[in-house]
Chains A and B, each alone.
Chain A
Amino acid sequence: MDIPETLRYARSHEWVSSPEDGVVTVGISAFAQDQLGDVVFVELPSVGDEVAAGDAVAVVESVKTASDIYAPLKGTVVAVNEALQNAPERINESPYEGGWLFRLQADDPAAREDLLDADAYRSVCEEEA
């Protein structure tokens, strides 16, 4: 299972990149996209949305189901991956690169450290698999 060591993870399967000037990138894990199956549509937040940790901010729809994506940290949405509108399959093909969902200016970037590291997240996946 591909779980990059450099990222942090939420129990709800979002990954969070290292902050750069307080901005983190958020996507869903390889495990999550595999569980969802072929992604056919993504509903993204709007740039400027202020979100709290745990808010449902996006929806990833696959042939099987539609799943809410939760903000892993409190902050403001500063970018969304527009390419997903026409190519949602990027989430399946490249969950950690081309399939990113949105970027967040975190109010408290250090709060990222409270999320799961790769080892802890691997255990979560093994439990759910």
Chain B
Amino acid sequence: MRYAPHTEEDVRRALDAIGVASVGELFADVPAELLDPELDLPEAMDEVTLMDHLQELASRDDARSPSFLGGGVRRHFLPAVTRHLAMQSEFVTAYTPYQPEVSQGVLQATFEYQTIMSELTGLPVSNASMYDGASAVAEAALLAIRATRRDKIFVSRGVHPESRDVLETYLHALDAEIHVVDLDDLATPVPSELGDAAALIVQNPNHLGRLETMDALADAAHDAGALFVSVVDPLSLAILRTPGEVGADIAVGEGQPLGVPLQYGGPHFGFMVVSEALVRQLPGRLVGETRDVDGRRGFVLTLQAREQHIRRGKAKSNICSNHQLAALMATVNVAALGPHGLREMAEGTVRNAHALADRLEREGYAVVRSGPFFAEFPLRISRDARALRRDLQREGVRAGLPIPAEYGLGDAVLITATELTRPSDVDALVAALSAVGERAGEVAHG
């Protein structure tokens, strides 16, 4: 079956309608070398040779080698039951179901997902999930612009730099302004400086791992008539006050720590949970519970008038899908762990992160302490961060997410621990730092 069954006549009429001579002309903005690149591919292999080759490649990846990488995506405990249940063939599609009501199992799982996210964030309405944390941040900004009819977005520098990049891309074609608020200015929020903002977006913990005073920031945003968007680490909510409790209107974030493997950086999923007042502005799919004609419990997609298939160009967002399987894994995982298990993971993360910071300090390394932290903290180093990461990798340790220059820390890396960080991992990091010649006490504090 042809997936896009356009006849040549269809294509010609479409091109005529928009005044373009050929399909190729539509891609004129893409540099030619990217459009049709020379691919440097090896010779084809037969199946046996290919399997040997792939197994050799896979064997180089030791998933339990010491890792201190983070910045939004971290290694956490994933019980066997999670993989087993989430990989049931009935669930294994990366895509959201179309003709959704025939897929009652998927809708029920999504309803459970929404319930979990609502309970974790303390806000009432979660959508069916989004693609990732960064696009969820951008969608929150778009929502705030719609809801407030204002066009200025104030975003903390503590929001992940890549999320801010995506935010900029999403707002590029709108008459909207982005103002980045420095971390020092966040400490003492002044509502008047927010002016006529649509939203204040703050990440907690921030990109350097530090916790922010979210309730004061929420008050400042509301005093300025703006919405408060809380970008949160979902696992931290097992022990920290929820966005709902601090008065956030919107909670968004990266869902990976709730139970998605690292997967070389994705796919993971993003989440968005909003206050009741914003439900009609919510982007993406939303599953509701209902009763069928015989009074039996059932699930439907609801409030679909927000979405593209009803509202076309006036839809609240162009998102009409989600990373269903990743969100489902997290749902199974959180349900399997329960509130107690999540809390243990979060507490283990805090405990190990603090023990690691203390140890590095005792060894004489320059841990940057600027306030309470959850899973990660900056470490000043004496060489380029990328060079350090490469050197440590050679010693079998994965560590050293570079901290961008905009934070004013000089050469510095983000060091992350989780409940899985073993004492032997910490020993390995200390030994590796020493082995690569990153000597303690060489970096001036200040």
Contact = CB atoms under 8 A, between A and B. Distances in A.
Point out which of B305, B310, B311 has the most chain A C-beta atoms below 10 A from its C-beta. B305
B149 A46 contact: yes
Given A41-B280, A41-B305, A43-B280, A65 B310 contact: yes
A68 B149 CA distance: 18
Nearest to B279: A41
B390 interface: no
A66 B311 CA distance: 7
7 contacts: A41-B280, A43-B280, A56-B314, A61-B305, A65-B310, A66-B311, A68-B314
Contacts of B305: 41, 61, 65-66
Interface string B157-177: 000000000000000000000
B414 to A, nearest CB: 43
Nearest to B314: A68
A38 to B, nearest CB: 13
Contacts of A68: 314
A66 B149 contact: no
Interface in B317-333: none
A32 to B, nearest CB: 16
Contacts of B314: 56, 68
B108 to A, nearest CB: 23
Contacts of A43: 280
Interface in A56-96: 56, 61, 65-66, 68
Given A56-B314, A65-B305, 10 more contacts: A41-B280, A41-B305, A43-B280, A46-B149, A61-B305, A65-B310, A66-B305, A66-B310, A66-B311, A68-B314
Contacts of A61: 305
Nearest to A62: B305
A85 to B, nearest CB: 10
Interface of A: 41, 43, 46, 56, 61, 65-66, 68
Contacts of A46: 149
Task: Tell me if A's interface is mostly helix, strand, loop or mixed.
Answer: strand
B286 to A, nearest CB: 14
A66 B312 CA distance: 11
Nearest to B307: A66
B265 to A, nearest CB: 38
Interface string B34-50: 00000000000000000
Contacts of A66: 305, 310-311
B426 to A, nearest CB: 55
A51 B314 CA distance: 18
A65 B149 CA distance: 24
B57 to A, nearest CB: 51
Interface in B284-334: 305, 310-311, 314
Interface string B130-159: 000000000000000000010000000000
Contacts of B311: 66
Contacts of A41: 280, 305
Nearest to B280: A41
A68 B314 CA distance: 10
A18 to B, nearest CB: 31
Query: Which of A41, A66, A68 has the most C-beta atoms of chain B within 10 angstroms of its own C-beta?
Result: A66
Interface string B226-252: 000000000000000000000000000
A46 B147 CA distance: 11
Contacts of B149: 46
Contacts of A65: 305, 310
Nearest to B149: A46
Nearest to B315: A66
Interface in B365-402: none
A56 B149 CA distance: 15
Which 9 A-B pairs give the minimum distances between C-beta atoms?
A66-B305, A61-B305, A66-B311, A66-B310, A65-B310, A41-B280, A43-B280, A65-B305, A46-B149
Nearest to A49: B149
A15 B310 CA distance: 25
Contacts of A56: 314
B349 to A, nearest CB: 42
A65 B311 CA distance: 8
A51 to B, nearest CB: 14
Most buried by B among A41, A43, A46, A61: A61
A64 to B, nearest CB: 9
A81 B286 CA distance: 28
Tell me which of A41, A46, A56 has the highest count of chain B C-beta atoms within 10 A of its own C-beta: A41
A12 to B, nearest CB: 15
